[in-house]
Chains A and B, each alone.
Chain A
Amino acid sequence: MLHIVACIKQVPDTKIIKMNPKTNTMDRASAPAILNPYDSHAVEEAVRLRSRYGGTVSVLTMGPPPAVKAIKKCIEIGADEGYMITDRAFAGADTLATSYALTKALQKIAETRPIDLIICGKMTIDGDTGQVGPGIARRLDMPPLTSVNKVVELNREEGYAIVHRKLEDGYEVIRSTLPCLLSVEKEINDVPYSTMTNMLRAARYQPHIWSVNDLPDIDKTQLGLKGSPTIVSSVWAPEKPKGGTQLEGNPQEQVRQLIDILLERKELFQGVT
């Protein structure tokens, strides 16, 4: 039976987040935690594939205990099972340490039910890197397929998948062996409103929760802040472009000045005729 795992994360809603202008830190209380919008498409795609090919959809997250809510949201979308790894040892992880911890959890999940396909979101809106998906794929020695905007076919028996990868100017059709890992674009699907059945199931659902000691053969030095090669050394408020030269004169004069200023920098108009 086909087993698809979507990796999902709970994130602060960066659209409404307030920053403390003195410390340049997030005022976490100001931002509600939501399921990373890109990951909802990952789960939805898994659910759609299940309805085409049968099988099971699991979701996996690493995060603090309240992230159970994000798992419940995925159950509402239609996932069957939810797994969460949560431990202080994971805190402060960058993408490398995150992909390591998630890989360990995926290996444990695979012990009970082998995994055919892993789906990640394109990126998270807080980490905003898109690096975790390919990182997991490399660790599990699966082909990583990023920028996927369509799954054409999955064939578990013959062990292949055919997908479209979005390019800057079109798309390419790729055939990959299974298992593989997809990072999916938002446009791959629309996430519909949840059904009442799924909502009721989500309300009662209790995910599998593991701490670091539940994960076999884990190298603790590769976890969390300690295991992260990158560190944030400083944060500051983004610089606003300054200048703001207000052009003077009547409209005709202002327009004239602006055109002169722009045309003086001919390099800006290379290729424009």
Chain B
Amino acid sequence: MNFEDYRGVWVFIEEKDGIIAEVALELLGAGRRLADKRKTQLSGVLIGDQVTGLAQTAFEYGADCVYVYDDPIYRFYRTETYMRAMLACVEKYKPEILLYGATSTGKDLASAVATDLPTGLTADTTQLDVEEDTGLLLASRPAFGGNIMATILCKKYRPQMATVRPKVMKALQRVPGRIGEIVEESIPITEEDIRTKVLEIVRATTQRARIDEADIIVSGGKGLGGPAGFQLIHQLAETLGAAVGASRDVVEAGWIGHHHQVGQTGVTVTPKIYFAVGISGAIQHIVGMQNSGLIIAINKDPAAPIFQSCHYGIVGDALEIVPMLIEGFKAALGRKEEADARKV
């Protein structure tokens, strides 16, 4: 394997229903940084049905080039079809680094591609860097249930691949009209070759914001005193258009369902803002939310460990503070709403 042949940073542009997944835009941001450091190109690989038009969006978020596999056979994600397209592209153009979102699709695709190439694959990366002169990818991730961070290298194989957690990297500011090169690709593949069929797609009807995707999460803990106090969390969340999270103790007490639990044995979340209200800040909770953009803690005990893990803290009684926050935000965001209404 001649490393000289492998150049450029690539991002798998995950798409669904004609929209590029947010994580792909984040990866273009992260990939741009790596590509600039290596003085090389940033490319996207876009696979789907009638997706060529989305390449423009990728350019505006930082891609120099997009390889497109546009065919009805790619209408739904299937490992078999997407993998073949990605393998063909990698073998033809040989990237040095290839990043995927750590979504169920991205992880599925990356695992299959890594085995066939073969090459190393680092899962659920939360930090990325590259050695300027060697091109060695430094992919770091939490390990052992968040107890440590580890940097993983792939020295002997190219491309170097990683899946990257959503909402950790930052997308670049969109540059409307930024241009790039579209490379249309195709491989011979027919429905008869494929052993899996998507019979039906059922979308969940729930309207409630999901905590793994939410930009803002308001989480409550035992400090709210009981289900009645916990209602304040729902109210603040509603005011902010946020999802509701909870500590394990609250879930076990039955104040809210288990899919709201944040933490090691619950969901790992990385919203832009995380409110921890009446939560003590046990390590098992912290590992599930520590990568949030802005962490705000409200706790009446100034010595609570949560204050070691937050960006802004308010020492006080949640039952008093939260209603004030609700009022305050309602007033402030309401004004914004009026202003927006005037604009239209």
Contacts and interface: CB of A to CB of B under 8 A. Distances in A.
Interface of A: 12, 14-15, 17, 19, 24, 26, 94-96, 99, 125-126, 128-131, 133-135, 137-139, 143-147, 162, 165-177, 180, 228-241, 243-247, 251-252, 254-256, 258-259, 261-263, 265, 267-273
Contacts of A131: 107, 110-111, 114, 121, 123
Interface stretch (B40-48, B141-149, B179-187): B141-149
A268 B272 contact: yes
Nearest to A263: B332
A254 B104 contact: no
Interface of A is mostly: mixed
Given A138-B116, A147-B104, A168-B104, A232 B203 contact: no
B313 A246 contact: yes
B148 A237 contact: yes
A168 B149 contact: no
Contact of B196 (A15, A99, A143, A167): A143
B197 A129 contact: no
B264 interface: yes
Given A235-B148, A268-B216, A162 B118 contact: no
Interface string B190-216: 000001111111111000001011011
Contacts of B4: none
A256 B316 CA distance: 14
B272 A170 contact: no
A22 B215 CA distance: 36
Contacts of A265: 294
B49 interface: no
B155 interface: yes
Contacts of A146: 79, 104, 107-108, 111
Interface string B84-111: 0000000000000000000110011011
Contacts of B145: 14-15, 17, 125-126, 128
B200 A173 contact: yes
B329 interface: yes
B307 interface: yes
Given A134-B115, A244-B308, A259 B329 contact: yes
A145 B107 CA distance: 12
Contacts of A262: 273, 294, 296
Contact of B203 (A145, A170, A272): A170
Given A15-B145, A268-B216, A255 B108 contact: no
Interface stretch (B5-13, B51-59, B218-226, B282-290): B282-290
A170 to B, nearest CB: 4
Contacts of B123: 95, 128-131
Nearest to A268: B272
A264 to B, nearest CB: 11
Contacts of A180: 195-196
A162 B196 CA distance: 10
Interface in B320-344: 320-321, 324-325, 328-329, 332-333, 336-337, 340
